[in-house]
């Protein structure tokens, strides 16, 4: 039997189209079109030309242009174009701030005001409530457990024998390959190289430390140099090699990332006294634990990679506000949330293996994003690990708040009050 939601979808399509008209709509259209000419280094003139063209082919208005290409944005067009091609302006996302979030970590130590960029009402209030409770309890303990951004080049051979001989050769080339990779970067270091054989294909798990940068581009360039050195010197015939074999988990959830990490693996915890749970979260330790057991069961039955409530909310908001690669939320939002009784109190922790953040590089130098890092006090060299710890602490606060809200039956009411009926 066809599921009801599928049947309803088909019914709606049939109400709008018959089969012949659908076929006509889906037929390839090879009519000529004008491509938007690419511009890498933007200025006022190139932005204006793009908007003129968009006005010819779309429904854009002068108000649309003024919203994206405002005077302040145009003054910095060349700066922005270092991070994007075909630049036409900037999008203004509302930014809220929570704090202080007290962190007592190996790398992060202090009270942090945290900027969060989001269009979801209630999100900032929720994270702020969790941060207030955690800070009242003395702060969040944090530690970077290990770090390493991986790239996984793939090599193809004529058969399993050649693949094995290739791995044998690689095993004796550690120093030379490290030198080839690190010749491209002052900050990146190749810290491990692990081969994975699948018959005639070999993946190399190349793990790099990246200093204070998130390091995605850094490790790609370094890995490319290493692979070219391999191709030039390897005595085994390589049929083909690729800079990435889709094994690394780059911008996607994967078991490899969950178990071995990609970026910085961070653990954060706080013990909330029962009185703080009742006064500042509006619920009880027992009620939070009861709901936590249900949520854990739901995570297991649905096949989550990890078990957590909503890391992605805090990650996306912080990444946007501080110039991180927002697509990395796909892999960063994995991990494990735990809540356990400690006498009458509540122990809460998160362990996140794939936090990909940087205090330098990427979008961190753009004006608004640099301001976000300045609000945190974590802009520039020497702050990458601390930023990762604050990120984990933030996600812990979000877990505390949402579990408390659902346990107390306040979740829907909060969204109605702060989102729909504001």
User: pLDDT (tens digit, 9 = 90+) per residue, 92-108?
Assistant: 999 999 999 999 999 99
Torsion, CA 110, CA 111, CA 113, CA 114, rounded to 10:
60
User: How far is the CA of 167 from the CAs of 1, 203, 204, 224, in angstroms?
Assistant: 51, 10, 9, 18
Q: Per-residue pLDDT averaged across 196-200, rounded? A: 98
Q: Is 76 helix (H, G, I), strand (E, B) or coil?
A: coil
Q: Is 410 a catalytic residue?
A: no
- Select which of 278, 325, 345, 410 is catalytic: 325
Q: Per-residue pLDDT averaged across 297-316, rounded? A: 96
pLDDT of 109 higher than 60: yes
Under the banding of pLDDT at 50, 70 and 90, the label for residue 15 is: confident
CA separation for the pair 120, 98 (Å, rounded): 15
- pLDDT for the residue 300: 95
Per-residue b or e along 217-240, where b marks 16 or more CB atoms closer than 10 Å to that residue's CB: ebbbbbbbbbbebbeeebebebee
Domains of the chain in sequence order: 34-92 (no CATH), 96-147+263-420 (3.90.770.10), 153-242 (3.30.70.420)
Q: How many CA atoms lie within 13 A of 117 on its CB side?
A: 18
Q: Is 310 a catalytic residue?
A: no
pLDDT of 419 higher than 70: no
| Residue pointed to by tokens 């990609």 | 262
- pLDDT for the residue 236: 98
- pLDDT for the residue 8: 86
- pLDDT for the residue 7: 83
Burial tier of 362 (Cβ tally within 10 Å: 0-12, 13-18, 19+) = buried
> Residue 151 in contact with residue 245, Cβ under 8 Å?
no
- pLDDT for the residue 22: 81
Q: Is 175 a catalytic residue?
A: no
| Residue pointed to by tokens 């809200």 | 405
User: How far is the CA of 30 from the CAs of 27, 75, 347, 383, 402, in angstroms?
Assistant: 10, 40, 62, 52, 51
- Select which of 48, 64, 120, 244 is catalytic: 120
User: How far is the CA of 292 from the CAs of 309, 337, 403, in angstroms?
Assistant: 10, 9, 7
Q: Per-residue pLDDT averaged across 81-92, rounded? A: 94
Q: Per-residue pLDDT averaged across 322-338, rounded? A: 97
- What are 18-66's pLDDT values in tens digits? 878 888 888 998 998 888 888 888 999 999 999 998 988 778 999 999 9
pTM of the model as a whole:
0.93
For the record, the structure tokens of 333 come out as: 């939002």
pLDDT of 128 higher than 90: yes
Nearest Cα to Cα of residue 46 among 91, 90, 88: 88
pLDDT of 411 higher than 90: no
The overall average pLDDT reported for the chain is: 94
Q: Per-residue pLDDT averaged across 138-147, rounded? A: 97
- What sign for the dihedral angle of Cα 71, 74, 79, 83? positive
Q: Where are the beta strands (DSSP E) in 343-395?
A: 345-355
CA separation for the pair 268, 103 (Å, rounded): 9
- What are 253-305's pLDDT values in tens digits? 999 999 999 999 999 999 999 999 999 999 999 999 999 999 999 999 999 99
What share of the chain has pLDDT > 70, as a percent? 97
Q: Which long-range contacts (CB under 8 A, 24 or more apart) does 235-242 make?
A: 235/169, 236/157, 236/162, 236/165, 236/166, 236/169, 237/157, 237/158, 237/162, 238/155, 238/156, 238/157, 238/166, 239/156, 239/157, 239/158, 240/155, 240/156, 241/153, 241/154, 241/155, 241/156, 242/153, 242/154
Q: Is 49 helix (H, G, I), strand (E, B) or coil?
A: helix
Top pLDDT among 119 and 8 is at 119
- Select which of 187, 310, 410, 415 is catalytic: 415
pLDDT of 391 higher than 60: yes
pLDDT of 1 higher than 70: no
Under the banding of pLDDT at 50, 70 and 90, the label for residue 415 is: low
CA separation for the pair 238, 357 (Å, rounded): 35
- pLDDT for the residue 416: 61
Q: In 189-340, which ranges are continuous DSSP H helix?
A: 216-233, 255-260, 274-280, 285-302, 311-322, 329-332
Q: Per-residue pLDDT averaged across 330-346, rounded? A: 97
CB atoms within 10 A of CB 308: 24
- What are 203-253's pLDDT values in tens digits? 999 999 999 999 999 999 999 999 999 999 999 999 999 999 999 999 999
Q: How many CA atoms lie within 13 A of 408 on its CB side?
A: 19
């Amino acid at each position: 039997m066809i599921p009801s939601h599928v049947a309803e979808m088909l019914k709606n399509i049939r109400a709008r189209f018959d089969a012949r008209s659908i076929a006509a709509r889906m037929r390839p259209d090879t009519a000529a079109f004008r491509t938007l000419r690419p511009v890498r280094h933007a200025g006022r003139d190139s932005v204006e030309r793009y908007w003129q063209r968009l006005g010819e082919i779309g429904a854009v208005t002068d108000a649309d242009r003024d919203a994206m290409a405002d005077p302040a944005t145009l003054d910095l067009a060349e700066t922005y174009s270092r991070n994007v091609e075909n630049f036409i302006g900037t999008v203004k996302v509302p930014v809220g701030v929570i704090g202080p979030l007290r962190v007592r970590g190996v790398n992060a130590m202090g009270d942090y005001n945290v900027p969060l960029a989001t269009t979801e009402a209630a999100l900032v209030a929720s994270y702020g409530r969790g941060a207030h409770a955690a800070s009242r309890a003395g702060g969040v303990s944090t530690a970077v457990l290990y770090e390493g951004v991986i790239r996984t080049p793939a090599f193809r051979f004529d058969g399993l024998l050649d693949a094995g001989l290739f791995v044998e050769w690689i095993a004796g080339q550690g120093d030379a390959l490290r030198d080839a990779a690190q010749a491209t970067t002052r900050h990146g270091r190749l810290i491990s190289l692990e081969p994975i054989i699948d018959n005639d294909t070999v993946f190399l798990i190349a793990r790099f430390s990246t200093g204070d940068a998130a390091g995605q581009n850094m490790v790609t360039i370094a890995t490319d140099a290493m692979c070219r050195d391999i191709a030039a010197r390897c005595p085994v015939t390589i049929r083909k090699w690729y800079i990435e074999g889709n094994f690394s988990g780059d911008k996607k959830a994967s078991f490899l990332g969950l178990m071995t990490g990609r970026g910085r693996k961070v653990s954060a915890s706080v013990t909330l006294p029962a009185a703080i749970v009742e006064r500042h979260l509006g619920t009880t330790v027992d009620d939070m634990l009861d709901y936590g057991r249900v949520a854990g069961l739901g995570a297991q039955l649905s096949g989550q990679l990890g078990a957590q409530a909503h890391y992605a909310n805090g990650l996306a908001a912080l990444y946007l506000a501080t110039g991180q690669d927002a697509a990395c939320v796909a892999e960063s939002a994995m991990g494990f949330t735990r809540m356990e009784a400690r006498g009458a109190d509540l122990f809460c922790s998160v362990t996140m293996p794939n936090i990909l953040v940087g205090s330098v590089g990427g979008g961190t130098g753009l004006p608004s994003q640099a301001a976000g890092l300045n609000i945190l006090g974590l802009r520039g060299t020497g702050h990458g690990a601390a930023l990762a710890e604050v990120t984990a602490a933030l996600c812990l606060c979000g877990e505390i708040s949402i579990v408390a809200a659902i346990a107390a039956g306040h979740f829907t009411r909060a969204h109605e009050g702060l989102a729909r009926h504001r």
